[in-house]
């Protein structure tokens, strides 16, 4: 049974989420002390975290960043904010997905299942490496290296690069990448893919491979 940590200060909303998740055979755990979020996460060892942005004291962006410093547990941001900048900020802080209030509980469960599938996909990868030219992707620890430099990738970044490297030399459409990440793109904001692609390109630039991913206008992306 997957354990879901719910970090939401609205008692009505978190109770509804918890009850609905329990019906789908998840184990919901509700955080009530918003000064000890990290301690609660370490104690419970959840499989996924639902994190509201508007929390008393420090906001969800802060806590997402803090959690990312110590754990790679998947995080879905839940928020009433609708500005694109908030979504970009959430992704840059390390969130795996974003859902805006008010939302359908059915869609929330679909997002949770999709994120858990992505996480399981990476954990169950064979202990191997994938190489295109001098670019190497370690399938065991999600590190990408070029010549003598390497950098760690997030789950989304890893899966994007994995797909591009597996189909090196082919143009991969945005829809195909989104289906690989989330399996059903209707639940995904297109901006989420843009943010993750930007972060992946930034990391490739750090190791000296800034030109690895080429954008083909109105077609998709190509790894060269």
Burial of residue 52 (number of CB atoms within 10 Å: 0-12, 13-18, 19+):
buried
Q: What's residue 124's pLDDT?
A: 52
Q: Domains, the chain, ranges and CATH?
A: 3-123 (3.40.50.2300), 129-223 (1.10.10.10)
Residue whose token pair is 């939302």: 103
β strands within 110-166, DSSP E:
129-132, 135-138, 143-146, 149-152
pTM of the predicted structure, to 2 decimals: 0.61
Using the predicted structure, report yes or no on whether residue 122 has a pLDDT greater than 60: no
Average pLDDT, stretch 78-93? 79
Q: In percent, how much of the chain has pLDDT > 90?
A: 30
Nearest C-alpha neighbor of 104 from the set 181, 187, 48: 187
The tokens for 94 are: 């390390």
At residue 8, the 3 state secondary structure works out as: coil
Average pLDDT, stretch 78-105? 82
């Amino acid at each position: 049974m997957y354990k879901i940590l719910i970090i939401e200060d609205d008692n009505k909303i978190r109770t509804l989420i918890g009850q609905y998740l329990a019906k789908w055979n998840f184990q919901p755990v509700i955080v009530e002390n918003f000064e000890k979020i990290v301690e609660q996460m370490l104690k419970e060892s959840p499989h996924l975290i639902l994190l509201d942005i508007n929390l008393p004291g420090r906001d969800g962006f802060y806590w997402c960043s803090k959690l990312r410093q110590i754990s790679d547990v998947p995080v879905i941001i839940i928020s009433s904010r609708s500005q694109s900048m908030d979504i970009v900020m959430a992704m840059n802080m390390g969130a795996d997905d974003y859902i805006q209030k008010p939302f359908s509980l059915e869609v929330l469960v679909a997002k949770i299942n999709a994120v858990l599938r992505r996480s399981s996909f990476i954990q169950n990868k064979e202990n191997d490496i994938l190489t295109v030219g001098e670019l190497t992707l370690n399938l065991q620890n999600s590190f990408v290296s070029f010549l003598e430099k390497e950098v760690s990738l997030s789950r989304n970044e890893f899966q994007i690069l994995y797909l591009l490297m597996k189909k090196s030399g082919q143009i991969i459409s945005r829809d195909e990448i989104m289906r690989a990440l989330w399996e059903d793109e209707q639940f995904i904001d297109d901006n989420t893919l843009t943010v993750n692609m930007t972060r992946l390109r930034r990391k490739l630039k750090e190791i000296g491979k800034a030109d690895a991913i080429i954008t083909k206008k109105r077609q998709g992306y190509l790894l060269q």
